[in-house]
Amino acid sequence: MAENFKSGFVSIIGKTNVGKSTLINNLVGEKIAAVVNKSQTTRTAIRAIVNRENSQIVIIDTPGIHKPQTKLGKIMVDTAYKSSENVDAILFLVDAINNKIHKGDSIILEKLKSQNTPVILLINKIDLIKKEALLQIIKNYSELYEFKAIIPISALNKKYVKTILNEIEKCLPEGPPYYEKDEYTDQTERQLIEEIIREKLLKSLSDEVPHGTYVEVEKMELGVTKKEEDIYNIEATIYCIREGHKGIIIGKNGQMLKKIASASRFEIEKMLNKKVNLSVWVKVKDNWLNQDEMIKKFKL
């Protein structure tokens, strides 16, 4: 381990659909979180681990801040704020498209003001605005808070990764790593598989259906093919809140479900580096978003 090695935790916080999951995947260099152009994609606090020569940075991806309409929504918002407590730095991600400060961003900023934690402001989607507009956004935020750093970025572009990680590293205390060097997330393989299937589900369906769905891996066993090759036999269930939604997920002659399962299997095989036999079912659980027993898995 290098002399003066640093380690610590940093959380990413921001409104829904500002690019948090895309950013965290680029910072880590691995697929950790589902990336979809829909709001409320991330539901739990996901830890990702960046191992550098002189530091280990544990980044916490959090659910997007929104006005909750269900018990699950409230848990998601509570999780986001709790994940930003007792960390060494906070990445506050905002959208550059509107040069006025959004009400939701103002609410988050007021919460951050009550914490004695360095905050790095990341202004995302700068590729979609003019330089004059960006300068105005920087001025607007600078007048409200003394940020540790302000970094304009495009989360889709990996060229900003080193700058962000360097700024985070400045905020970390000296100390040994929390995880082994080859680890990049605290998610289990089952959780990563659930994320993959849910991402393919979100990408394939209309806006109405996905927020009432969640995925659970029921079985994951390593077997052997007839050719003596390792193969994972995985069984997963997609839960939704209405019979009508079940029909949409399955699709005509089962084509939509086949599409989701096929895309999921392809990515799971890449992740596990083994063949996969994936079986996916769809079941209805009425109003599960407000049932304490069902949503407890999403609590921090």
Q: Is the CB of residue 251 less than 8 Å from the CB of residue 201?
A: no
21-45 exposure pattern, b = at least 16 Cβ within 10 A, e = fewer:
bbbbbbbbeebbbbbbeeebbbbbb
Q: Is the CB of residue 263 less than 8 Å from the CB of residue 200?
A: yes
- Whole-number pLDDT of residue 101: 85
Q: Can you tell me the distance from the alpha carbon of 33 to that of 61, in angstroms, rounded to the nearest whole number?
A: 8
- Whole-number pLDDT of residue 193: 92
User: Considering the entire predicted model, what is its pTM?
Assistant: 0.73
Cβ count near 224 (within 10 Å): 9
- Whole-number pLDDT of residue 244: 86
- Chain position carrying tokens 């935790």: 9
- Whole-number pLDDT of residue 28: 84
Q: Is the CB of residue 173 less than 8 Å from the CB of residue 33?
A: no
The edge-to-edge listing of strands for the beta sheet with 275-284 is: 214-224, 230-240, 275-284
- Whole-number pLDDT of residue 60: 83
Return averaged pLDDT per consecutive 10 residues of the chain, 300 residues in all.
Answer: 84 83 84 52 67 91 56 56 77 84 84 89 92 92 94 88 95 92 83 89 72 86 90 94 88 94 95 94 81 58
